[in-house]
Amino acid sequence: MKISESYFNVQGEGITQGVSAYFIRLTGCNLMCGGNSGNLVEKGKASWRCDTEAVWKKGKTVTNKELLSLFNQEGILERILSGEVHIIWTGGEPLLQQKGIKGFLDHINNQFNPNKVYSEIETNGTIIAESKFYGGTIMQVNCSPKLSNSGMPLDKVIIPQALRQIAKYENSWFKFVINNESDIKEMEQNFISTFEIQKRRIILMPAVDNLRDLPEKTRLCYEMTKKYGYRTITRGHILAWGRTTGV
């Protein structure tokens, strides 16, 4: 696989926030949220920008053996094999390298036969996964569909087959970046109603990449939770480390 960075820390977002985790950030993405990439971004519509763009654009090829050795260096191999420390595949868009992910996890299973490794994947929901990838290779799907506040046009972010595939998997969660109340309306119209996503699997996340604005945007999401009933989970990694990456 081509990896931008990897590190041991705590899950800062989503339904498993606070769980110890080893992050593997894969290179590449098929979107460019808030960035500058020709006609890919609709000018003037982005209210936030991908906070890891500078990281996932770079990287190097890492073998299964080399990646496994990183677990040993951190002294967490046994904790990963027992499922205590989650493996989190992130990006960019990690599903671009789903064959590499499966190959690595098969390598672990063949070598240790643990059957308890817990893998999460952070995906934008635009790429169709191979058969049995969800629930077989990957135990938890954290899907972050992009609203217009990302600057991405609808035809780039709404791929029906990919979204339906995720919605059918029981242990999948949909995180939406919220900047204002109109984002809730868009979320409901374009995603929740269309793909029949259960309300209990929806997470609101503040559209912010810095500690200064996090309280205000979190309060906004809390107000939206009070009004509409969706769960809010703020960005714990920003609360702890601000804009720093690789932690």
- Say which CATH number the domain at 71 has: 3.20.20.70
Distance, in Å, from the CA atom of 27 to the CA atom of 37, rounded to the nearest integer, reads 17
User: Does residue 129 fall inside a structural domain?
Assistant: yes
Give, for all 247 residues of the chain, the pLDDT tens digit.
999 999 999 999 999 999 999 999 999 887 766 655 544 444 446 555 666 666 666 889 999 999 999 999 999 999 999 999 999 999 989 999 999 999 999 999 898 977 799 999 999 999 999 999 999 999 999 999 998 877 888 888 899 999 999 999 999 999 999 999 999 999 999 999 999 999 999 999 999 889 999 999 999 999 999 999 999 999 999 999 887 666 6
User: Does residue 117 fall inside a structural domain?
Assistant: yes
User: Does residue 165 fall inside a structural domain?
Assistant: yes
Range of the domain at 15: 2-177
Closest CA to 68 of 103, 96, 27, 26: 103
- Structure tokens, 70: 């990183």
Distance, in Å, from the CA atom of 119 to the CA atom of 121, rounded to the nearest integer, reads 7
Give this prediction's pTM. Answer: 0.89
User: Does residue 199 fall inside a structural domain?
Assistant: no
User: Does residue 207 fall inside a structural domain?
Assistant: no
The pLDDT of residue 239 = 93
The pLDDT of residue 108 = 93
User: Does residue 198 fall inside a structural domain?
Assistant: no
The pLDDT of residue 58 = 83
The pLDDT of residue 38 = 47
Phi-psi region at 123: left, alpha or beta (left = phi > 0; alpha = psi -120 to 50): beta
Number of domains in the chain: 1
User: Does residue 184 fall inside a structural domain?
Assistant: no
Closest CA to 196 of 218, 164, 172: 164
User: Does residue 85 fall inside a structural domain?
Assistant: yes
The pLDDT of residue 44 = 47
HEC letters along the chain: CEEEEEEEEECCCCCCCCCEEEEEEECCCCCCCCCCCCCCCCCCCCCCCCCCHHHHCCCEECCHHHHHHHHHHHCCHHHHHCCCCEEEEECCCHHHHHHHHHHHHHHHHHHHCCCCCCEEEEECCCCCCCCCCECCCECEEEECCCCHHHCCCHHHHCCHHHHHHHHHCCCEEEEEEECCHHHHHHHHHHHHHHHCCCHHHEEEEECCCCCCCHHHHHHHHHHHHHHHCCEECCCHHHHHHCCCCCC
Closest CA to 179 of 211, 150, 159: 150
Closest CA to 169 of 203, 205, 194, 137: 137
